Amino acid sequence: MKTTSLYPIIVTENVQETIDFYVGTLDYYKKHDMDLGASRIIVLENPKGCTIEVMQKPTAAVPGLNFGDGLYGFRMNVDDIDEAVAEFRQKGAKILMGPIETPTSKNLMVLDPNGIHLTVMEHKKAGRK
């Protein structure tokens, strides 16, 4: 099996706040909105095809599944970390750390409204310091 993409599923009671963060801060748009009765799933996508699924915390128990709130975090890659820092600051996002430099990348840690950590990474190109 080959994985072609990986995306997070964020479980939240604050669906609109979460959507507003990703749409307003990271230029995602709402691709699908599915009403599941006891829950709702909103699929967000950005212009490059990256996907985030936001799930309203179910109002009723689902046998065999335990839905906690949120997700600790996920990683996203960018071409220019300095541009990302400027955009996060301009849009009022909470920057927790960075950017910091590692031997292979520059990283920035941002917090979304649910306490989810976004690690934003710019990979160093060969020969670049």
Residues 3 and 49 in one domain: yes
Position of tokens 């599923």? 9
Residue 129's pLDDT is what?
47
Residues 84 and 125 in one domain: yes
Residues 89 and 41 in one domain: no
Q: Per the structure block, which two tokens stand in for 125?
A: 């190109």
Q: Which residue has the higher pLDDT, 23 or 103?
A: 23
Query: Considering Cα of 11, then 59, then 30, then 4, what sign does the dihedral take?
Result: positive
Residues 34 and 4 in one domain: yes
Mean pLDDT of 100-119: 85
Res. 67: pLDDT tops 80: no
Res. 90: pLDDT tops 90: yes
Determine the distance from the C-alpha atom of residue 128 to the mean position of all C-alpha atoms in its chain, rounded to a whole number. 28
Per the structure, the complete domain to which residue 116 belongs is given by 72-129
Residues 42 and 93 in one domain: no
Number of domains into which the chain is organized: 2
* CATH code of the domain covering residue 108: 3.10.180.10
Res. 100: pLDDT tops 80: yes
